[in-house]
Amino acid sequence: MTPSNVAYQVMWNRLISVVEEQAQALVRTAFSTSVREAGDLSAGVYDPAGRMLAQAVTGTPGHVNAMADAVAHFIRRIGRDNMFEGDVYITNDPWEGTGHLHDITMVTPSFKNGMLVGFFACTAHIVDIGGRGFGADAASVYEEGLYIPIMKFADRGTVDPTLVAIVRGNVREPDQLIGDMYALATCNEIGHRRLIEMMEEFALPDLDGIATFILDNSRRATLEAIAALPRTSAEGSLTVDGFDTPITLKVKVTVHEDRIVSDFTGTSGLDKKGINCPLVYTKAYACYALKVAIAPEIPNNHASLAPFEIAAEENTIVHALHPAPVALRHIVGHFVPDAVFNAFDQIVPGLVPAEGAGCLCNFQVSMRPRTDAPAPAHARRSEVLTFNSGGSGARPGHDGLNATAFPSGVMTMPVEATEHAGPVIIWRKELRPDSGGAGQRRGGMGQHMEVGATEGHEFDFQAMFDRVDHPAQGRHGGGSGAPTTIVRSDGAAMRGKGKQFVPHGARVVLAFPGGAGYGPAADRDPALVKRDLARGYISAKAAAADYRLSDADIKAVQDAVRTAQEE
């Protein structure tokens, strides 16, 4: 008997719960702080054809939407006749995975009663994959680390010892990486177990019926959302720092009756350094931008993503071909939504946010014993990667979010977790007043950070920042966000990108960018201005200059804050 639509809806919800448990298992078991603390991962379930049916809520759009295309590559490379129960497949191919070598994708076939019924896939960002390390300094992908083609991690339950030995011999943190690989394989296994339990509960011999229900309903709902839009085109652009020279993303968004096309013709060419973005990652964030704008309530799957198409010229910074360096592809990829929004705002005004910090404010420190003098016995080598965020752009009806990653959605790492990972000290980490762009809706604030090492260590600081020279721009009269700043505590200048030496005793002083404002600052509710002043989000100077708050009102707020502190 065919299940009813109500039963299928229950199964759909169950599938989403299954992949969320899959993702949480990865968070709990992963070795890398980027997974445990920042949630830089994805998890999903697929039908036998490799079409994504459900994704976990935990994870990033770049991982999930790129991974949506990856399973088909695994099927093609491994071959259906070579797939068996107990198999686990692996890759970190930037062009058939999720965009760079630092993401490992695992795919596990799911069998029931000897028949292939689907696949589970998951991705995690790992701290080290060898090579030059995580950063933009490489001139080709060959320098960026160990490449693992699509292959079997485990064959019928037996892990490939040769692969493990090769991985161990090529990375700086072998125990950490091998631990992450086993965590990825285990989380897929948990998803498989829960899927089989669900299928037995609902007496499903296969996933054909539920797959048809999910994909048909998702496709119909997405097409209805697109059909409600004006049939027109608009162009948008965005210029950011790049590595040595600025780069410009150009996009033309065209709304058709049954699809939306984002065409990146005219975008800057390849960069010599590793900030280039494979098309799969550009597509992931272009689709995400439009989907959250017009159909945020529709779950992510193969059918809900299909109507969002992109085009880009080969060997541009958004369509990098092998062997272009791509380690920091997220820097460009995370700016794609703002470029798309700059175009889409002309099609449907009053819907999308102002520009934000965009890319994550990540950095990695390579700690080692000091070399300018004898190092203490406790000094050691260590790789520490930390994820941080600037402010998001203000929204039409709300202020931007402070120190919140958009569009990636990953979490800012706690100081305690970062310091636990190696001999690094975070001397300062706090919100950055006046960094959010002024407006009727204020941009989100960035952060101040000050980073150093414990006694006896020096380190290389791998900067991965942008918005140094090109801060976030406001929308509909809103002000710009504050730019990124980076300097060494001894006064030495530092660049926004690249590996830079920090001697023993010195620190890196950082200020991360703010999101831009939305609407004229003159239209902001004075009560909100007073609230921001009281909370320290804006200074008295900004309250007067940007929002025209009177001296009397400023003094009244300051007196109230002082009285509250004394009490």
Contact 546, 507 (CB under 8 A): no
Can you give the pLDDT of all 567 residues of the chain as single tens digits? 578 889 999 999 999 999 999 999 999 999 988 898 888 999 999 999 999 999 998 888 888 899 989 999 999 999 999 999 999 999 999 999 999 999 999 999 999 999 999 999 999 999 999 999 899 999 999 999 999 999 999 999 999 999 999 999 999 989 999 999 999 999 999 999 999 999 999 999 999 999 999 999 999 999 999 999 999 999 999 999 999 999 999 999 999 999 999 999 999 999 999 999 999 999 999 999 999 999 999 999 999 999 999 999 999 999 999 999 999 999 999 999 999 999 999 999 999 999 999 999 999 999 999 999 999 999 999 999 999 999 999 999 999 999 999 999 998 889 999 999 999 999 999 999 999 999 999 999 999 999 999 999 999 999 999 999 999 999 999 999 999 999 999 999 999 999 999 999 999 999 999 999 999 999 999 999 999 999 999 999 999 999 999 999 999 999 999 999 887
**Buried-exposed string 518-541: b where 16+ CB fall within 10 A, e elsewhere:** bbebeebeeeebbebbeeebbeee
What is the C-alpha to C-alpha distance for residues 514 and 499, in angstroms, rounded to an integer? Answer: 24
Q: Cα torsion at 9, 294, 445, 427 (round to 10°)?
A: 40
- What are the C-alpha distances in Å from 376 to residues 151, 365, 455, 456? 44, 19, 8, 6
Please give the single-letter amino acid code of residue 351: L
Tell me which DSSP letter residue 373 carries.
S
Angstrom distance (rounded) from CA 119 to CA 326: 28
- With contact defined as beta carbons under 8 Å apart, do 77 and 150 qualify? yes
The token pair at 435 is 């960094």
The Cα–Cα gap between 287 and 484 comes to: 27
